[in-house]
Structure 1
């Protein structure tokens, strides 16, 4: 049996770019990430990441925080009903929203490219609505204002196909997600 401890770490990473031989400072970029520490019964560290989908990724750019939730953690394939195992991930996201949000919170659904465009659009809409419903009914965010939007497969973050045209399951997995965008000012 393993015990898991989650540690919320805030990392500030100054970015710079080399343009035309000159180095130019870009906007400061912060990533809030979850570091999973797992030990076995003897207290020895064990990899908690191998083979697992990262459930939550948070990025802060200027006055905006983006929380990306992996759809595979939240939903069964081709479904918009939240899985029981989504509770922990949504609780973490709700805590960040509660602490940091100022104004309307946008919740956006995304799918991979499998299936038709209309179907994926409706699925992404329903998934965004499911997350908002959970926030309002179980996440303690009933007084917040939310706006939902589904994007279907129109905004991929990874290729759905490999360069040779074959299926890219890892890319499709990254594209199936729900993003929560909030203003911090």
Structure 2
């Protein structure tokens, strides 16, 4: 016999189950889990089949379009596709170089390289302008914060010339009257 505790109204109630009842509960839970798993699997399979069918259809459409073209047009289309892929790769390489350059410029300006994504652009001049703007805004914010902190802490000044302060009297440097 197995016992199972069910949440109650603050009291611990013990429920006694026979081995058959416990086995049935386990079997029911397993059946529910298996049903849910099969439903999730079927859903994922249907999505995959839909995506695959769309990709096949797109490839067939492209193949049909290429088949309708003359040999010269087909070669031109393939050359254009290669050029597009090369341009995309070149852009990716340029962005990597821009990222490295922007990181170096940020370090030169005394800024964290964590800001690189904020200032990065596909144009070098725009990136430089973004870094300059960030540096300016950052410096202004730091200056404002420092100024605000300085206002709160009044600096104690020494005694004025000719006056004997508490320190002078404590050291016995004052004239007794």
Query: Which of the two has greater helix per residue?
Result: 2
Q: Which has the larger radius of gyration?
A: 2
Higher relative contact order (CA 8 A, sep 6+): 1
Query: Which of the two has greater strand per residue?
Result: 1
What TM-score comes out, normalization by structure 1 length? 0.18
What TM-score comes out, normalization by structure 2 length? 0.19
